[in-house]
Structure 1
Amino acid sequence: MHLLLRTLLVLFRSRRRSALGFFDTSSLPMRVLPTDIDIAMHLNNGMYLSLMDLGRFDLMVRSGFWGAMRRKGWSPVVGNETISFRKSLELGQRYTIETKVIGFDDRATYLEQRMVADGEIYARAYIAARFVSTQGPVSNEDIFKAAGVLPPADLEVPEWIRQWREDGALPSTRRPAPHTWN
């Protein structure tokens, strides 16, 4: 809820920005706002991933996939994400959220996102997302058809990302996941 207004602004403004292909890199200009910072006066670590949602929305809208996805009643959901921090973004600082689809497998769409300021990476995240409908997960074939694309032949998920997803996965919602500490 804390980013609802910014989300609506991105969805509105992205429609007026230049079109992108589904496999292009989105670059969303941003500024660190007072609502983004913590007591140390820099972008709060929890806000990075929330703000990166906006970068994914920008890519989906500008590639035309957002409209197709919404018409079909699909929703994007994040299954795994990991982030590394390098430098702090300070109050008022301008930066961009760079977003790129880096691969697919039978369970997820993988994206790399970066917070970039002055030509330097301040933070980088990897996201495993999927699209779901009322009937369940959406297949890659349906995603490509809705996006009007074929995946590039050289688009291959790095092995370490496959391992990261496997190692960090929780049981499916159809299996129990009891709360016990090992």
Structure 2
Amino acid sequence: MHLLLRTLLQLLRSRRRPGLSVWGNSSLPLRVLVTDIDIAMHLNNGMYFSLMDLGRFDLMVRSGVWKLMRSKGRSPVAAGETISFRKSLQLGQRYTIETRVIGLDERAIYFEQRMVSDGEICARAFIATRLVSRSGPVSNEDIIAAFGAPPADLVLPDWIHEWRGNNSLPGTRRPAPHAWQ
């Protein structure tokens, strides 16, 4: 809820920005707001993924994917995320969220996102996403049919497969009981 208004505004702003390919790169300029910081006066670690949502929305809107997804009753959801931090972003500091699709497999579409300030990477994340509809996950065949085939050189790094395998939970139709080992 804390970013709902900001997300809605970004969806409107992105419609006015130049178009791009879903397989291209999005660069979204932002500034660290007072609602983004923690007691240390820098961007709160919990805000990075929320703000990166804005970068993915920007890419989807500007490429036409958002409108197409929504017209078919589809929504993107995060299935897995990992992030590394390098430099803090301070209150009022300008930065960009750089976003690109790095590939897909039978289960997810993968994004690389970077928070960049003054040409330096401050944080980098990898996000596995799914498209879902009321009837369940959308197949990659349907995604490619709607968005076009990815470039031939778009190949997921091997470590992404290992990361997903090591960090995924069972599907929602299988039990996942809680018990500390």
* Counterpart for residue 35 of structure 2: 35
2:154 partner SS? coil
Which amino acid is 2:74 matched to?
A: W
Structure 1 distance, partners of 2:22, 2:36, is 29
2:116 partner SS? strand
Aligned-residue RMSD, C-alpha = 0.6
* Counterpart for residue 72 of structure 1: 72
Matched, 1:54 2:54: yes
Structure 2 distance, partners of 1:73, 1:32, is 33
Which amino acid is 1:38 matched to?
A: D
Structure 2 distance, partners of 1:24, 1:141, is 20
User: TM-score w.r.t. structure 2 length?
Assistant: 0.99
* Counterpart for residue 138 of structure 2: 138
* Counterpart for residue 98 of structure 2: 98
Structure 1 distance, partners of 2:51, 2:91, is 15
User: TM-score w.r.t. structure 1 length?
Assistant: 0.98
* Counterpart for residue 160 of structure 1: 159
Query: Structure 2: where are the runs of 5+ without partners?
Result: none
* Counterpart for residue 87 of structure 1: 87
* Counterpart for residue 17 of structure 1: 17
Identical pairs, percent:
72
* Counterpart for residue 129 of structure 2: 129
Which amino acid is 2:43 matched to?
A: L
Give a deviation string over 1:23-47, Cα, whole Å, max 9, x none.
Answer: 0000000000000000000000000
Structure 1 distance, partners of 2:170, 2:145, is 29
Give a deviation string over 1:105-137, Cα, whole Å, max 9, x none.
Answer: 000000000000000000000000010111211
The 4+ residue runs of structure 1 with deviation greater than 2 A are: none
Equivalent positions of 1:161-180 (< 5 A) are 161-180=160-179
The alpha-carbon deviation at position 5 of structure 1 amounts to 1.2
1:15 partner SS? helix
* Counterpart for residue 151 of structure 1: 150
Report the count of equivalent residues.
Answer: 181
Query: Structure 1: where are the runs of 5+ without partners?
Result: none
